[in-house]
Structure 1
Amino acid sequence: MTWTQVYNPLDNIWLSALIALIPIIFFFIALTLLKLKGHIAAGITVLLSMIIAIYFYDMPASMVLGATGYGFLYALWPISYIIIGAVFLYKLTVKSGQFTTIRQSIISITDDPRLQMLLVAFSFNAFLEGAAGFGAPIAITAALLVGLGFKPLQAAALCLIANTASGAFGAMGIPVIVAGQVSGIDPKEIAHFLGTQLPIISFLIPFLLVFIMDGIKGLKDVWKATSITAVSYALTQYLTVTYIGPELPNITSSIVSLLALAFYIKRTSPAAAKSFSLSPKQILKAWSPFILLTILVTAWSISFVKTMLEHMNLLINVPFLHNHVIKAAPLVKDPTPYAAVLKIDVFAATGTAILIACILSVFLLNVSPKVAWTTLLETVKELSRPIITIMMVIAFAFISNYSGQSSTLGLALATSAAYFPFLSPFLGWIGVFLTGSVVSNNALFGNLQLTTAQQINVLPIILVAANTAGGVMAKMLSPQSIAVAAGAVGLAGKESELFKYTLKYSMGFLILGGFVTFLLAWWL
C-alpha cells in the first residue's frame, strides 16, 4: 500500500500551514510559558503531530507509527551513540584525575574566564564541529566549561551560541555538500557564496559571547583578545571557503583562531603560565583522549576509509514506511517514493570512532576496567532523560517530514513571492528546528528553495545558501541541541531555561539574515 503526500489538506495553504504549526507552537509555549520538562513537552508534541498527520493529512496510521518508530531508532543510532561516547570520554578524564591537569593547562594560558570561554566554547567547539558534529562538540565543550568552574546553564548556552559560527559547514562540509546534491549547484559555489555572509556572523559571535558573560565592561577589558579571535577565525573561514571549498573551514578557522589567541595571551600575560608547573608529558597525557578523538574522527571522515567501512553497513527498511510514502509536486517534479532506511553503520559511524578513543583512553589514563564500566553506566543513566527527549524530538521531526507537515510550512512561505527572499532563511530555520540538523534541513528544503528562486526570478544560489545560513541560526535552540547540551551539563529537566536563554539570540541573527538575503536577492 502506498500513500501520496498532501501538502494543502484544507485547500488553503495558509490554513493548512496553521494546522501544521500547532505542534511547533505548542512546543514553544510548553518550554517558555508552561516550563514543562523537555521530555514531557516533546512527548505531547509528538502526539499532536500524529493526530494532525492522521486526521488532517489522511496519512495511514501504520505509516504514522512507522515514522514515529523510525525517529525513535534514529535518535538512538547514531545520535545518542555519539553523545554517550562524547560525554563518557569527558568523564574518563575526570575519573582518572586528568581533568585537573586539563584545567590547569588552560588556566596556565589564562585565568580569565572570558578568554577560557573563547578558547574552549568558540575555537575548540568549532574544531570538534569540523571533525565530528552531531552534538558531540556541544556536549564536550559544555562539560569542559563546567569543569573549569562555569555555571551549567551559562556553559551550555555559551557553547550552543558559539556553535553558530561553525554549524553551516558541519563535519567536513557535509551540510553544504548535501545542499549541492539536492539543488544541482556546485557545493564549492554555495560555499563561496556563504563565504561572503557567514564570516560576518562568525566575526560577531566572539564579541556576543563576551558580552553575554560580562556585558560592556567585559568587552572593554578583553576587546583586543576578542578582536584577534574574531578576525583570525572569520578571515580564515572566508579564505578557506573561497579558495579551498566547504570541507575544511571549521578545522582551519578553529586552529588559526586558537593559536592566535593563545599566542596573544602568552605575549601579553606571561605571568599566567607560572601558576602551574606542568611538563609537556603531563599535558600530553591529560589531553590524549581529545587528541585521539580528533585523530580518529578525522580518519573516519577520509573518503577511502569511509568507503571501506561502509561496506559493512547493515541497512534496514523501516516496516510500513519505506517507499510507502510518495512525494508529489510541487515538492518534486515527478512522484517519488520516500525512502526510510535505518543505517546501522557499526564500523563507519562517528560514534564508533569516539568509542575507540574511549577504549584507548582507558589504557592511556590508567583507568581500571571496573571504574570504566561503572563510569559508562553512570553516563548512560545521567543521559537517559535527555535521550528520551531526543527520541521524542526526532520522532516529531520524522512524522512532520513523512506526513508533509514540514513541506506545507515551506510551501506557504514560498507563496510570499516578492518577500520570500527575506523569509528564505526562516524556512531553513524551521528545517533545523524540526530536525536538529543543517544536513537534514538542506535535504528537506534545498530543492524547494531552488524551485521558488526560479519562480520569482531570484538567483537560486542566494536562496539555497540562505537555507543553510538560516538553519544555522536555529541550531542553538533546536530541541535536539537543547537536549544534548542540557544532558551534558546535568540540566536534564530544565531544558526550558536553556531554550529561553538562547531564543532571543537565535531570532536576532535570523532577522539579520533575512534582511541580508533580501538585499542580496534584489541587488544581484
Structure 2
Amino acid sequence: MFVQEIAPLAGSLGLSALVAVLPLATVLVLLGVVRMKAHHAALLGLLVALVVAIAVYGMPIGQAISSGFQGAAFGLFPIMWIVVNALWIYRITVRTGHFDVLRRSFGKVSDDPRMQALLIAFCFGALMEALAGFGAPVAISSVMLVALGFTPVRAAVVSLVANTAPVAFGAMGTPVVTLAQVSGIPLNTVSAIVGRQTPILAVFVPLLLVIIVDGRRGVRETWQPALVCGLTFGVVQFAASNFVSAQLADIGAALAGAAALVLMPATRKPAREEVRAAVLTGVATEQLERPEDRGEVLRAYLPYLLIIVIFSIGQIPPVKKLLDAATWNFHWPGLHVAGSSGKPVSGNTFSLPFLNTGGTLVLIAGILTVLALHVSARDAVREWGATIHELRFAILTVAGVLALAYVMNLSGQTTTIGYLIAGAGAGLAFLSPLLGWFGVAVSGSDTSANALFGALQVTAAHQAGLSAELLASSNSSGGVLGKMISPQNLSIACAAAMLPGEEGTLLRKVLPWSLGLLLLMCLIVVGQSTILSGMLP
C-alpha cells in the first residue's frame, strides 16, 4: 500500500508544492510560451509528473505507471469515445450533402444577419457543443456564417464568443462527468451547481452577439428576441442539469432557445437593406432561394432528432437500469493507494459503462443515421476510420492530459498544491473560476482543465473551510470563458473562416469579452459562497 504524503520534501509544504506544480508548469509553458503541439506538451508533462511522483513522493514505479494508464484509459473511454462517434455522424451528413441542406434551411428562417448569428452561432453551435465539443461548434458555425455573407473575422468572433454557456455540458456532459470522476463529487451535485452558474451567462451572451454583429443598433432593434433566446436557453439548461440529466442539458437548451427565437415575430421580420448592407460585407456563397425537397430537409435534421430520442429513452428509469447493468466496476491492476489518513482512495477502482455512456448512445444514433441516409456499410466504416485519423492528435492530447492528472492525483501532488493555495482563505471563492479559466485558455478544453484542477479545488476548499462542491463546479463554469481565447480554438476559427495567421487579430477582439464574462462569473461564485448561498442545491 502506497500512502500519500502532503509534504514529502523536507517536511515543507511550500517546497513540496513548488516541486508538485512542475508537471502543470511544464504543460502550460510548453503550450503558452514555447507553443509546442498540445499532444507533445501533454506527454512531456506526464513524464515530469511520473518523475516527481517516483523521486519525490516515493510512489512505487509500477503504481505510478499504472495510475497513468488508468488516466489514459478514462481519456479514451468514455471521453474520446463520445467525440469520435459524434464527429462521425457529422462527417456522414457532409458526405451525403445533408449538412448543406441543413445550412441552407437555417439561412431561410430569417434574412436578418443578427438573427442568423443567434440561430447559427448560439443555438446550433450549442447543439454541436452538446454532441461533439472540442472545437466543432466554432468550426461549423464559422463556415455557415461566412457562407451567408458575414466577413470572415466577424463570423469567427461571433462563433468564438457564442461558444461559452454550453461548454460545461458539451460532448454529452463530458466536462462535468470528468470533474465528478477526478473530484469524487457525485455527478448530480456537480451538474446541479454548474447548472446554477452557466445559465446566467446564457442570458447575456446573445446580447453580446448582436453587439458584435451590429453594435448599438443591433441591441436597440433586436434586444427582445436576443433576451428571450438567452432566457429560454438558460432556464432549460438549469432545469435539465438539475432535474433531468447533464447529458441532455445542452441539447434541450439549444432546441428550446432556437424554438423561442424562431417563434418571435421580430425574427421573421425582413431585415432592412441598410442593416444587411452594413453587416453582410463578405461574399455570400449560399443560394437560399433554391427550393429544397421536404424529405431531404427532414433527413438533414434526422441525425440530431435520433440522438435526442435515444438519449431521452436512456433516461427512462427501467431502461437506465438495464443499461447500467452492462457496467464493469473493477480494481485497477497494480494500484494500492491510500490517502494521508491511511484510507484507500476511490481512484483504486475503475468503471467501464459499456452501454450507459454517451459515446455508445451516439454510436447507435449514428448507425440508424447511416441506414436512414442510405450510406453503404463500407463508406460508413471508411468515414469512421477517417474520423479517428482526423482526431488522432486530439486523442493523444486528451489521453496524455488525463494520464498526467491521474498521476498527480494518486501520488498526492494535487493534494499538496491544494493545501498551499488554501491559504487564500475566503478569497479562494473569487479565484476558483479564474483557475478554471486559465486551464481552458491554455489547454483549449474544459474537460482537460477539470482533470487538471478539479481535485485541487476540492483539497483547497476543504482546507479553507469553503464548499468543495461549489469550488469544483466553479472550475468548470469559469473554464468555459477561457475557451474563446485558447490557441487551439483560435486556430480552428482561423482555419474555418479562411483567416490564415490571424489568431492574434481574433484574440484582441475576443479577449475583452472573455475577461468581462469571467469577472461576472467570479462575482457569482463569491455571492454563492456568502449571501447567495441559497442558490446552491
TM score, norm. by length of structure 2? 0.77
Tell me if 1:269 matches 2:280: no
Residue 118 of structure 1 deviates from its aligned partner by 2.7
Residue 52 of structure 1 deviates from its aligned partner by 1.6
| Counterpart secondary structure, 1:339 | helix
| Counterpart secondary structure, 2:164 | helix
User: Does the 8 Å CA contact 2:23/2:45 hold for their aligned counterparts?
Assistant: yes
Tell me if 1:423 matches 2:428: no
Among 445, 452, 455, the alignment partner of 1:444 is 455
Identify the residue that residue 201 of structure 1 maps to in structure 2: 201
| Counterpart secondary structure, 2:351 | strand
Identify the residue that residue 38 of structure 1 maps to in structure 2: 38
Residue 485 of structure 1 deviates from its aligned partner by 10
Identify the residue that residue 148 of structure 1 maps to in structure 2: 144
Deviations 1:161-214 (A, max 9, x none): 5453234566579949959x96799949x947963x544322222334455667
Structure 1 residues 518, 77: CA separation in 2 closer, same or farther (over 3 Å shift)? closer
Deviations 1:350-386 (A, max 9, x none): 2111111111111211212222222222222111122
| Counterpart secondary structure, 1:58 | coil
The one-letter code of the counterpart of 1:474 is: G
| Counterpart secondary structure, 1:275 | coil
Matches within 5 A, 1:89-168: 89-110=89-110, 115-127=115-127, 136-138=132-134, 140-148=136-144, 150=146, 162-168=162-168
The one-letter code of the counterpart of 1:318 is: W
Matches within 5 A, 1:249-398: 250-264=250-264, 266-269=267-270, 275-321=289-335, 324-329=336-341, 335-398=343-406
| Counterpart secondary structure, 2:28 | helix
Deviations 1:231-272 (A, max 9, x none): 333355567778x57767545533332112122355313899
Separation in structure 2 between the aligned mates of residue 474 and residue 40 of structure 1, nearest angstrom:
22
Separation in structure 2 between the aligned mates of residue 285 and residue 193 of structure 1, nearest angstrom:
34
The one-letter code of the counterpart of 1:262 is: V
Identify the residue that residue 281 of structure 2 maps to in structure 1: none
Structure 1 residues 362, 199: CA separation in 2 closer, same or farther (over 3 Å shift)? closer
Separation in structure 2 between the aligned mates of residue 74 and residue 249 of structure 1, nearest angstrom:
22
Separation in structure 1 between the aligned mates of residue 472 and residue 426 of structure 2, nearest angstrom:
17
Separation in structure 2 between the aligned mates of residue 63 and residue 155 of structure 1, nearest angstrom:
48
Separation in structure 2 between the aligned mates of residue 496 and residue 410 of structure 1, nearest angstrom:
38
User: Does the 8 Å CA contact 1:470/1:510 hold for their aligned counterparts?
Assistant: no
Identify the residue that residue 229 of structure 1 maps to in structure 2: 229
TM score, norm. by length of structure 1? 0.78
User: Does the 8 Å CA contact 1:470/1:513 hold for their aligned counterparts?
Assistant: no
User: Does the 8 Å CA contact 1:31/1:41 hold for their aligned counterparts?
Assistant: yes
Separation in structure 1 between the aligned mates of residue 381 and residue 494 of structure 2, nearest angstrom:
21
Q: Percent identity?
A: 28
Question: What do you get for the CA RMSD once the two structures are aligned?
Answer: 4.4
Please, which moves more after superposition, 444-453 or 310-319? 444-453
Structure 1 residues 382, 90: CA separation in 2 closer, same or farther (over 3 Å shift)? same
Structure 1 residues 482, 354: CA separation in 2 closer, same or farther (over 3 Å shift)? farther
User: Does the 8 Å CA contact 2:194/2:473 hold for their aligned counterparts?
Assistant: no
| Counterpart secondary structure, 2:356 | coil
Residue 275 of structure 1 deviates from its aligned partner by 2.7
Separation in structure 2 between the aligned mates of residue 442 and residue 424 of structure 1, nearest angstrom:
10
Structure 1 residues 466, 137: CA separation in 2 closer, same or farther (over 3 Å shift)? same
Structure 1 residues 484, 405: CA separation in 2 closer, same or farther (over 3 Å shift)? farther
Structure 1 residues 309, 269: CA separation in 2 closer, same or farther (over 3 Å shift)? same
Residue 77 of structure 1 deviates from its aligned partner by 1.5
| Counterpart secondary structure, 1:293 | helix
User: Does the 8 Å CA contact 2:168/2:477 hold for their aligned counterparts?
Assistant: yes
Structure 1 residues 346, 193: CA separation in 2 closer, same or farther (over 3 Å shift)? closer
Deviations 1:82-130 (A, max 9, x none): 1111111001111111112111111111356654443244324445666
User: Does the 8 Å CA contact 1:5/1:403 hold for their aligned counterparts?
Assistant: yes
| Counterpart secondary structure, 1:348 | coil
User: Does the 8 Å CA contact 2:7/2:16 hold for their aligned counterparts?
Assistant: yes
Residues matched between the structures, number: 500
Structure 1 residues 65, 299: CA separation in 2 closer, same or farther (over 3 Å shift)? same
Structure 1 residues 145, 398: CA separation in 2 closer, same or farther (over 3 Å shift)? same
User: Does the 8 Å CA contact 1:167/1:438 hold for their aligned counterparts?
Assistant: no
Separation in structure 1 between the aligned mates of residue 156 and residue 404 of structure 2, nearest angstrom:
24
| Counterpart secondary structure, 2:34 | coil
